[in-house]
Amino acid sequence: MEKILKKHYKLVILAIMTFFITVSVLNAKNDSATFDEVAHIPAGYSYIEKQDMRLNPEHPPLLKDLIGLPLAFLDLKFDTTQKFWTGEGFGRIWDDGQWAAGKHLLYEAGNNPDQILFWARMPIVILSVILGLFLFMWGKEIAGTLGGLFVLVLYAFDPNILGHNHYVTTDIGIASFLTFTFYYFLKFIKNPTWKNVIIGGFFLGLVNLVKFSSLMAYPILGLVLLIYPLVKKVSHNEGAKEEKFLRAKLFFSYLGKGIVAFAVSMLVVWVLYFINTYNMPKEIVDRQINFSFPLDDPNPLSMTTNHALSTINSVPAFKPFAEYLLGVTMVFKRVAGGNGTYFLDNVTSKASTIYFPVVFLIKETIPFLALIFFSLFLTFGQILKASQKAWEEKSVKKSFQKFLQTGLMQYALFGFIILYAYLSITGNLNIGLRHLFPIMPLAYLLVTKKVFDFLRRKHSVTKHQLHVILGTLIIWIILIPVFSYPGYVSYFNESVGGSKGGYHYVTDSNTDWGQDLKRLKNFLDQNPQITKINVDYFGGGNPEYYLGDKYISGWDSKRPIEKGWYAISANSLQISIFDKVNKTPENNYAWTNKFKPVTMIGNSILIYYVPTDQAN
């Protein structure tokens, strides 16, 4: 089997990616607009058409530019005399206006929203395909051809990746470009030619243009840059003094080239921000600064930030950096503020330290979790064994130095995973597993490395048994998205009973992001006896547009509860019932507990029927 896979690996890749692309394109076509897409899509279109970043500056422009390119060919109607563009009547252009702009572009200006959604999503799908092929390439380098195929399977059949790889958001983008950046920056570290320095700096700039959380990579890459020349092998033919001189020279060479790489990255950032703010008036940037960091804010940091950004913006050549730094500071402010969400029978804007660990354990597939725990167990065992041996031989320093020399990729990727996970767990923004996507490709790579290193070391007697176990896990991994199609956003593993009941544990983009509105329409079309339905929908779609005269606006405090049909988004339901501060049984959805849902649409919209004798 190994020989067949190695010989025909291209056909295997073709088969994997055919499945991956097919389900991605189908979901791009069939999923309704998710909550965040309403803000991202008009931003991307306006960046390309207007070279103005007034919409959604809390995210960098690269992905917006990519999704805006196909939209530029659709001859869309987009009225920039409206208040969402001029800022009149909106407290914050970047906040309130971007949502109004999305509703206008998609549903109010006479455009075809399904056409816009599909073509805006295609660049993200293409990027996700590129990431998959890139992971195969990297996996092949570190674990051979079979290792490359294995890491591709982990990625391409992860239902969480398939759930978000076709949405106009930053999640797949940051996962992709962080992976590219780590690969090329580590390549520069291993072989510091000027070509690799420039390429490493170029990708460092690109990842800055995708999402500001990419800044978390800087401490890890910086440490690698500073530590590696101190442990890298130098000539042993020299004396101790000469070796120290050579190592100092090597250190400063790395440091200088690292500074050049950083300068290249900032040049890349400036160029793209310059293009995207070319027609953006200075006054608009000032207005964004003043709204985001008002001078009358009692927090002195707000005033300091305002003055610093305003000073930078006052120099025309620095306007791109003013907009970039505004986005960075806005994100830090938002993360500190939190986001109201439902999690384990509780609704709060305060983060829980167990949120990401619990969500990861119930939403990732069990076979992948098993591989992670196996890899961690194996790694810790190897560390303990090596430490004990080094201690006995009194060669701790030498052994540690050798590990840093040979394990550059592993400790860099693992270091970033630990840092990113720690900051996510201790941060104040609990709105979805998708926020862990930046570390997922790196986890696939590390698991692959550990698994195949382990297989190579085992005796031939046990090899067959290990291959059977691994083959079983691979088949399990592949079957999960086959049988859970198309409900990938709402996927939950068997530890909580599967996807149907996932909303009892956590909602928002883990379960219900608005993706199933078109499927609700299909349900109504198949049930013509339902002529009217009360809809409380959470997401970026427009129920009135899709459901027509069957649609009745619904909300949790609507009284009396009348006879008829109700469609309630899982997110709206859980937040209403478990918000103990603002809601009571008199104005929440507690009344739904008396009824068993007739059905669920895509595991995210619950359908209820209230008969005459139980209406009130």
pLDDT digits (tens, 9 = 90+) for 127-178: 999 999 999 999 999 999 999 999 999 999 999 999 999 999 999 999 999 9
pLDDT at 405 over 70: no
- Return the amino acid letter for 195: K
Give strand ranges (E) for 311-468.
341-342, 347-348
Is pTM beyond 0.95? Reply is: no
Residue 105 structure tokens: 């572009």
Name the residue with higher pLDDT: 448 or 614. Answer: 448
What confidence score (pLDDT) does residue 273 get? 96
State the average pLDDT for the chain: 91
> What is the biggest distance separating any 2 CA atoms in the chain, rounded to whole angstroms?
95
* CB atoms inside a 10 Å sphere around CB 289: 25
pLDDT at 126 over 60: yes
Name the residue with higher pLDDT: 131 or 248. Answer: 131
Helix orientation angle between 37-50 and 62-71, rounded to the nearest 10 degrees: 80
Tens-place pLDDT, residues 501-530: 999 999 999 999 999 999 999 999 999 999
pLDDT at 93 over 50: no
Tens-place pLDDT, residues 338-368: 667 899 999 988 888 999 999 999 999 999 9
What confidence score (pLDDT) does residue 574 get? 96
What confidence score (pLDDT) does residue 417 get? 94
Tens-place pLDDT, residues 426-443: 877 778 899 999 999 999
Question: How much of the chain, in percent, has pLDDT values that exceed 70?
Answer: 92
Query: Cα(503)–Cα(4) distance, rounded to whole angstroms?
Result: 43
Closest alpha carbon to 511 in 580, 568, 569: 569
Closest alpha carbon to 510 in 588, 404, 604: 604
pLDDT at 83 over 60: yes
Query: Cα(252)–Cα(240) distance, rounded to whole angstroms?
Result: 19
pLDDT at 187 over 80: yes
- Provide the pLDDT confidence category of residue 94 given band limits of 50, 70 and 90: very low
What confidence score (pLDDT) does residue 11 get? 96
Closest alpha carbon to 59 in 273, 296, 319: 273
Burial class (CB in 10 A: 0-12, 13-18, 19+), 351: buried
pLDDT at 584 over 70: yes
Separation of first and last alpha carbons in the chain = 66
Tens-place pLDDT, residues 466-507: 888 999 999 999 999 999 999 999 999 999 999 999 999 999
Query: Cα(405)–Cα(379) distance, rounded to whole angstroms?
Result: 17
3-state secondary structure of 352: coil
Residue 518 structure tokens: 């078109």
Range with the largest mean pLDDT of 60-74, 406-420, 444-458: 60-74
- Tell me which H or E stretch contains 410: helix 408-426
Q: What is the CA radius of gyration of the chain?
A: 26
Tens-place pLDDT, residues 362-400: 999 999 999 999 999 998 887 787 677 767 666 656 666
- Alpha-helical regions (H) of 191-239: 194-208, 217-231
Cβ contact 149:112 at 8 Å: no
